[in-house]
Amino acid sequence: MTQGKEFIFAGYNADWATGKLTFSYTINVDETISKSFSETLRLQSPVDITKLNPKTLEILLQSFHLALGLSYYKLYIPPTILIRGYSLSKAQSIFWNMLYTKGLGEFYYRNNIDFRGLIQFPYEDKSRSALEQKRDSDKTLLGIGGGKDSILAAQILKEAEIAFNISYLADPIRDGIAQQFTADSLVVSREFDPEFLQLSSSSEVYQGHIPISAIYAFIMALSGYLYGYRYLIVGNERSSNYGNAEYLGQEINHQWSKSKEFEDMLREYVRDFISTDLEFFSLMRPLYEIAIVKRFCQYPQYFRLFSSCNRNFNIGNPLKGRLWCNECEKCAFVFCLMAAFLPKDEVIKIFGENLFAKEPLVDTYKELLGIKDIKPFECVGIPDEVKVAMYFAHEKGEYRDDPAMKMFEAEVMPDITDIEAMKQEVFSYGDDSNIPEQFKQAIKENKL
């Protein structure tokens, strides 16, 4: 792969009558080769901006321009970053340096790239702050991704009789989930540059993970401001705070853009530079994945609708209508958690087969249990969650002849000395400091 020379945020355009937003980027690969890309975001049209502050709107569009750039920057990782048409303050540049460094941490790790000192967003010596705005609105917008976490968040809001609307990127799975709730939906579609799609599958450019949840967060912020919402809610969980590996002195976390660290950064950025009226938080933040699944299993009406398999949401979805690939670490993880709380036949109905019985997944379960290599680069929980879940499944005796359970019995159970302490930790209620009081009450009241 070739490292480029310059990455340029070339500009953006908003056509509010049609709801079409266009964001442009240029990469100077070397002195003779230049590549330009444009990505389109389509909102529900028309968008009425007459009552919105134009400066705040521009900063939001600029922020979204910078966030979308992650997909394009990683193609050639140029050492020079340039911004055309607007500028950043030093404090803003620090945020974007962090997002492009920690958010792309897994990408750097897998490609053996030394990221130290690589990301340097330009800035001017100026101060910038969010304009004071007072909206008479307590409207709530919930972002859904298609999985159990955001569905449970929606169910909790529904049971607490907190009115909310739903926001999501256009997708058939998300369409089906949104229809289960009485809330209206703000559907956003994302159209990639055709040349980008072609390049992304070639050996000419760098390949790898981007912090997609950060892009979703800025979609939420933009939608929230445009349509008059105050509370912007996602379903990111406590487990996402834990990383996978150490690399060049930095923790590498596949889920960093879902973590509390990023959530705190984003909240500060929105408050300081965009609007004091927007409040972004995760309703699931206090709960580990296993606690979320235990609650989720109370709602069988969603079992045939949800999918946590990220292959469903990749560019060029390879699953073609199936909800689960039954091959990846995420499928193995969610199967394990659901096996802890549901009868075997019900779990197999959801996934279509018994994943504990699949010999190729035994090594995957070893990684999930923390006894082989590193925690998988997927949106999965910590090893103790998997140990407790497999312990529960083992107690029921339904999987005793399966390869994964035999491995667990032989290699993990002898080292479990205090299962009660492990249970107490993974079902504990954690940090809810970013959650407004009425929403804290809602999650605390939704108990088994």
How does pLDDT run across 268-292, given as a tens digit for each residue? 999 999 999 999 999 999 999 999 9
**Domain ranges for the chain:** 6-124+136-282, 319-427
Give the SS3 label for residue 204. Answer: coil
* pLDDT tier at 128, thresholds 50, 70, 90: confident
Please report the pLDDT score of residue 346 as a whole number: 98
- Which pair of structure tokens corresponds to residue 311? 């292959």
Q: Report how far apart the first and last C-alpha atoms of the chain are (Å, whole number).
A: 52
* pLDDT tier at 45, thresholds 50, 70, 90: confident
Better-scored residue on pLDDT, 175 or 288: 288
Which residues are bridge partners to 189 per DSSP?
42
Give the SS3 label for residue 71. Answer: helix
- Which pair of structure tokens corresponds to residue 367? 């990684």
Burial letters 44-81, b for 16+ CB under 10 A, else e: eeebeeeebeeebbebbbbbbbbbbbbbbbbbbbbeeb
Which residues are bridge partners to 35 per DSSP?
27
Neighbours of 423 (CB within 10 A): 16
Please report the pLDDT score of residue 126 as a whole number: 79
Total-model pTM: 0.95
Please report the pLDDT score of residue 135 as a whole number: 66
Question: CA distances (Å), 23 to each of 44, 79, 158, 186, 329, in order?
Answer: 17, 21, 36, 20, 34
Asked which of 267-271, 333-337, 367-371, 443-447 is least confident by mean pLDDT, the reply is 443-447
Better-scored residue on pLDDT, 45 or 440: 440
Cα–Cα distance measured from residue 40 to residue 83, given in angstroms and rounded to the nearest whole number = 19
Res. 148: pLDDT tops 70: yes
Please report the pLDDT score of residue 232 as a whole number: 98
Please give the mean pLDDT across all residues of the chain.
Answer: 94
Give the SS3 label for residue 135. Answer: coil
Tell me the average pLDDT across 375-399: 98
* pLDDT tier at 319, thresholds 50, 70, 90: low
Cα–Cα distance measured from residue 203 to residue 375, given in angstroms and rounded to the nearest whole number = 27
Q: DSSP string covering 257-278, please? A: GGSHHHHHHHHHHIIIIIBTT-
pLDDT tens digits for range 47-93:
999 999 999 999 999 999 999 999 999 999 999 999 999 999 999 99
Please report the pLDDT score of residue 446 as a whole number: 87
Res. 136: pLDDT tops 80: no
The secondary structure element, H or E, covering residue 68 is helix 54-73
Please report the pLDDT score of residue 171 as a whole number: 87
Asked which of 111-120, 174-183, 301-310 is least confident by mean pLDDT, the reply is 174-183
Please report the pLDDT score of residue 127 as a whole number: 75
Fold of the CATH domain 6-124+136-282: Rossmann fold (3.40.50)
Please report the pLDDT score of residue 316 as a whole number: 62
Please report the pLDDT score of residue 85 as a whole number: 97
Res. 373: pLDDT tops 70: yes
Handedness of CA 342, 346, 350, 354 (dihedral sign): positive
Res. 312: pLDDT tops 90: no
Tell me the average pLDDT across 38-44: 96
Q: Which residue has the tokens 């069988």?
A: 300
Tell me the average pLDDT across 259-264: 98
CA neighbours within 13 Å on the CB side: how many for 433?
6
β-strands 185-191, 140-143 pairing? unpaired
Res. 177: pLDDT tops 70: yes
Contact 9, 61 (CB under 8 A): no
Res. 310: pLDDT tops 90: no
- Contact partners, residue 279, CB within 8 Å, separation at least 6: 230, 231, 232, 267, 436
Contact 284, 149 (CB under 8 A): yes
